[in-house]
Amino acid sequence: MKLAVIQPRASREFPEFTLAPLEAAVAKSKLHDVDVAVFPELILPGYNFPKRHHPMAQSLSGEWMRNLSKIAQNYQCAIVLGWAERFEGMVYNSVTALGSDGDILAHYRKRQLFGDMEQESFTVGRLPSPIFDIAGYKCGFLICYEIEFPEYARDLALRGAEVVIVPTANPVGYEHVQDILVPARAYENRQFVAYVNYCGAQNGLTFSGTSLVAGPDGKALAQAGHDATALYVKLPEFSDYPKRILSTQLDDLRKLTDQSDVPHRE
């Protein structure tokens, strides 16, 4: 699988023409022969605009998804992005993957909302991420804050996910996520983690950039700086990593939990 990790400068204005830069990024990515282009959390209609989430949110059958489907199909490139979804009168912080044929591959609603803005703007999702295929890899979603919890990434690993795609909107002051937690999640679960952030400022919130793709050895395959950019990253084969440098935690945990004589406290 070859990923395009799109780190845009956060929009300061109403995004009537947001799909134009999204399409331009997909077109440029396809020149690099990528399988999937990944965009940050709530790129439609913008992360830090709580007053527009409800009035601008759309359904899975709405104009955003219809147009994105055409873009994916026209460029024969899968697309993953975060957006505000309206469903049965509620609004969710969601992520969707569209295949290179324009069909929806997978859809997920954020379960672990972060901070007052998200909790006031969105309904909590209830279902775990589906596992889906892109270019021969088993993939799963988490959104931003969720990668900071070992339980969410471990659940995906136990269900077979090899790549965790994480649209995010991580602000300045929380760089420990990119520096420590994303590499840790990748290492402890022997997964690739694609963490896709904004840079720049939006409505008083400054984003930290430094999007990255971490390999199952915990090391970054590529990492952005603090400016708008795109990373084009071809994932190595798992067999390219010597077993001696990979974690055995997942297998060892299974062995422990399979034992009937696990020690316990009285």
Which residues are designated catalytic? 41, 110, 144
* Residue 16 to residue 13: CA distance in whole angstroms: 9
Give the 3-state secondary structure of residue 114: coil
The residue with tokens 């001696």 is 244
Q: Amino acid identity of 238?
A: F
In angstroms, the Cα distances linking 107 to 71, 129, 154, 181, 250 are: 18, 8, 19, 24, 26
Find the radius of gyration of the CA atoms of the chain: 18
Residue 116 tokens, joined: 């007052």
* Residue 65 to residue 44: CA distance in whole angstroms: 11
Q: 241 CB contacts (<8 Å, ≥6 apart)?
A: 215, 216, 217
- What are the two backbone dihedrals, phi and then psi, of residue 70, each rounded to the nearest 5 degrees? -65, -40
What is the enclosing helix (H) or strand (E) of 250?
helix 249-258
* CB-CB neighbours of 252 under 10 Å: 10
